[in-house]
Amino acid sequence: MHIVVLVKPVPDTASSGERLGPDGRLDRAAVPAVVNANDEYALEAALKLVEAHGGEVTIVSMATAGATDTMRKALAMGATRGVLVTDDALAGADHVTTVKVLAAALSGLEYDLVLAGADTSDGQGGVVGAGVAVLTGLPYLSYAAKIEPDPDARQVRVRRISPTGYDVLEAALPALVVCTQALGEPRYPSLKGIMAARSKEIVTRSLADLGIEAGSVGGAVATTALVGSEAPPPRAATRVVREAPDAAAREIVAFLAERRII
Amino acid sequence: MLQEAVRVLADERIAPRAAEIDRTAEFPWDVKELLASHDILGLPFPVEYGGLGGELLTVALAVEQISRVCATSGLILAVQELGALPLLLAGTDEQKQRWFPDLAAGRTLIAFALTEAEAGSDAASARTRGVRDGDDWIIEGSKRFISQGSVADLIAVFATTETNEKTPRHERMTCFIVERGMAGFGVDRIEHKMGIRGSPTAELSFHGVRVPDANRVGEPGTGFGIAMRTLDRSRPGIAAQAVGIAQGALDVAASYASERRQFGRPIAEFQMIQAMLADMDAGTEAARQLLYKACTEIDAGSRDAARWSAMCKLVAGDNAMRVTTDAVQVLGGYGYIDEFPVERMMRDAKITQLYEGTQQIQRLVIARALAGRGG
């Protein structure tokens, strides 16, 4: 089985070094990047699937040229190779551009499954997976808690989380699956994985390589615009309940009831 | 990424054991297993023999991160590299096939036995003899101050095999791999040491140990050269241990200084403390950068390897001694008791000025390299 995982390098929120550039956008160069946490769940699911069924995992990213360092971490977890689409014309890209570019990048690859995270910690749109499925014409299976491919029958079965439990979806391969944390904790890269990742291939593709005209994507044609950005207000004073469990429970319930939260 | 992975492992799994390892002075088999299970002991070995194919710099980064929390544990990796270097440099493919997979997986340990009671800095005067007997060699003599000599499965032993006075002194030694179970091999005693107390330092005896010629590393008479080339590549491991110890002590001192209050404020606000911490930080960073530079130079095949390795061990060892001593000073009375780790780090630091060539020998090596350039 060949699986492609869509992986986005995002600013590390744990670094607490976020700052806004003059255009009001996040200054990505000032913050160390990490693999988007929800994408790590997708990657973990992909790695488990190839361990069970054989095959390879390719990660695909659209990011700045420096993203290869972050992609190496995904390779250290066990992915086979990476494809990075990077181009100056992509600055200020919105979700539509991201979808177009990732769909174009997929057209040059062979795969049975495409896995994506539910959303990203920076953009938080949660629409890229669905958009890529539309443009590529792949069956779209969302919010997967379990993925069971049958490569011989060219079928995949997915448990989709629903408000009351889960739905069982089936589709023909190749298909696109949006993954959730229910698939299992991502692994830490082993030392062997880290050392092996140093020599793994990351192919870089420009817009021209993908046959996309520079003017048709990026900030200039973005359908969303940044109108302003503000830091979140500092957190209000915290009240810590230190009573014994019984008394503490009563106090918390009273607190919530008072505010009509429960 | 590798540095980060080893750092987390060291902080979470090794640091909590460090004080106990020092107190009991017992070899930490659990830490050896931990390093093995995370493939850390495989770092110095080529990929084709089951290792991870790490360069000197990679091994140094790992040794540094482990030594930051426990110098004894950092030494496990450094000694595994040290003992294996004669085989890496001069071993046959067959010998590597035979021993490296187990060493890389950490199933076996290897030690390096050059020093003798009467042959320390003057290593070429070793009295341990190796005499050819048919297809075998008979080894007779003893070795002293052998790190992990009592826990190793294999010992790289250097013995004088040529007694002809006309042969230059540096062409009289041969390197052999002695296996732990061989008849006549024994551990005579374990030293009681000031520092790195969990790392057993052994006196080894060889009473007519019969070693097959297949265990000979390199040609007869090339042993001294192999030992010196080994030390050129292993000294950065000791420098890495020293940088790690210094960083560990600095971390403790800096955090203590910001929490300890005297005269109504943290002592970190007093200039005399600030100056000490600043010097500790600058010295440690300088030693670290020299170490990394030495590793990349030696990895790149520098003809100046002896000089680079001697310089980084000299600077890092002296820095570690100074920084750990100052860390004890910053902690005052608390630095002198075992409630804090800096007294242990100070005791551990001292060895980095002594082994794999004393600091005096490092200066000699550097001076010789200078002279060799024709001045």
Do residue B40 and residue A191 have CB atoms under 8 angstroms apart? yes
Q: Quick check: B342 pLDDT over 50?
A: yes
With a cut of 50, say whether residue B358 has pLDDT above it.
yes
Q: d(Cα B86, Cα A132) in Å, to the nearest integer?
A: 56
Amino acid identity of residue B219, one-letter, is E
Q: What is the mean pLDDT of chain B?
A: 96
Task: Please write the tens of the pLDDT for every residue from A182-222.
Answer: 999 999 888 999 999 999 999 999 999 999 998 899 888 88
pLDDT in tens, B78-110: 999 999 999 999 999 999 999 999 999 999 999
Q: What distance in Å separates residue A243's CA from the closest CA in chain B?
A: 29
Q: Please provide the average confidence, as pLDDT, over all residues in chain A.
A: 92
- Determine whether B356 is an active site residue: yes
Residues of chain A contacting residue B13, judged by C-beta atoms under 8 Å apart? none
Spell out which residues of chain B touch residue A191, defining contact as CB-CB under 8 Å.
2, 5-6, 38-40, 42-43, 52
Do you find a cis peptide bond into A174, omega within 30 degrees of 0? yes
B112-149 confidence digits (pLDDT tens): 999 999 888 888 888 999 999 999 999 999 999 999 99
> B2-30 pLDDT, tens per residue?
999 999 999 999 999 999 999 999 999 99
Split at pLDDT 50, 70, 90, the class of A239 is: confident
Q: Are A168 and A158 in contact (CB under 8 A)?
A: yes
What type of residue sits at position A99? V
The active-site residue, picked from B64, B116, B297, B356, is B356
- Virtual torsion, Cα B310, B314, B317, B319, nearest 10 deg: -140
Rounded to two decimals, the pTM is: 0.83
What is the distance between the alpha carbons of residues B52 and B66, in angstroms, rounded to a whole number?
Answer: 18
**Selected residue with higher pLDDT from A3 and A187:** A3
pLDDT at site B10: 96
Do residue A72 and residue B38 have CB atoms under 8 angstroms apart? no
pLDDT (0 to 100) of residue B297: 97
CA distance A38 to B289: 37
Tell me B116's DSSP state: B
For A68-112, the pLDDT digits (tens) are 999 999 999 999 999 999 999 998 888 999 999 999 999 989 999
pLDDT digits (tens, 9 = 90+) for B292-306: 999 999 999 999 999
**Under 8 Å between Cβ of B249 and B70:** no
Chain A residues lying within 8 Å of B39, measured CB to CB: 190-192
- Expressed in angstroms, the distance from the first to the final Cα of chain B is 42
CA geometry: angle at B75 spanning B69 and B77, to 5°? 105
- Of A41-45, A142-146, B85-89, B124-128, the least confident: B124-128
Residues above pLDDT 70, as percent of chain A: 100
**Listed residue (B235, B244, B251, B151) closest to B198, CA to CA:** B151
- If one compares A174 and A243, the residue with the highest pLDDT of the two is A174
**Band of the pLDDT at B163, cuts 50, 70, 90?**
confident
The domains located in chain A, with CATH, are 2-227 (3.40.50.620)
* CA neighbor of B129 nearest in space, from B211, B41, B56: B211
Q: Residue B74 and residue B76: Cα distance in Å, rounded?
A: 5
Check residue B374 and give its pLDDT: 53
Among A76, A188, A191, the residue with its CB nearest the CB of B39 is: A191
User: How many H helices and E strands in chain A?
Assistant: 6, 11
- Residues near B120 by beta carbon (within 8 Å), at least 6 away in sequence: B145, B358
Q: How far apart (Å, rounded) are the C-alpha atoms in residues B216 and B226?
A: 12
For residues B304 and A187, give the distance between their C-alpha atoms in angstroms, rounded to a whole number.
42
What is the model's pLDDT at position B375?
45
Please report the number of interchain residue pairs, chain A to chain B, with beta-carbon separation below 8 angstroms. Answer: 30
Q: Which residues of B touch A197 (CB under 8 A)?
A: 1
Read off the pLDDT of residues B229-271 as tens digits, 9 standing for 90 and up: 999 999 999 999 999 999 999 999 999 999 999 999 999 999 9
According to the model, what pLDDT value does residue A209 have? Answer: 95
Q: Where are the beta strands (DSSP E) in chain A?
A: 2-6, 9-11, 33-35, 56-62, 81-85, 113-117, 140-150, 155-162, 165-172, 175-179, 202-205
Whether residue B5 and residue A188 make contact (CB cut-off 8 A), yes or no, is yes
Tell me, rounded to whole angstroms, the distance of Cα B145 from its chain centroid: 12
| pLDDT tops 70 at residue B155 | yes
Exposure string over A243-253, b if 16+ CB within 10 A, otherwise e: eeeeeeeeeee
The residues near B300 (Cβ < 8 Å, ≥ 6 apart) are: none
- Least Cα separation, residue A236 to chain B (angstroms): 27
CA distance linking residue A137 with residue B213, whole number of Å: 68
Does B331 have pLDDT greater than 70?
yes
| pLDDT band with cut points at 50, 70 and 90 for residue A237 | confident
Query: Helix or strand or coil: residue B51?
Result: coil
Residue A191 and residue B53: Cβ atoms within 8 Å?
no
Domains in chain B, CATH or no CATH each: 2-109 (1.10.540.10), 111-221 (2.40.110.10), 225-372 (1.20.140.10)
Kindly identify which residue of chain A lies nearest to residue B8, measuring between CA atoms: A188
Residue B307 three-state SS = helix
* B157: three-class secondary structure by DSSP: strand
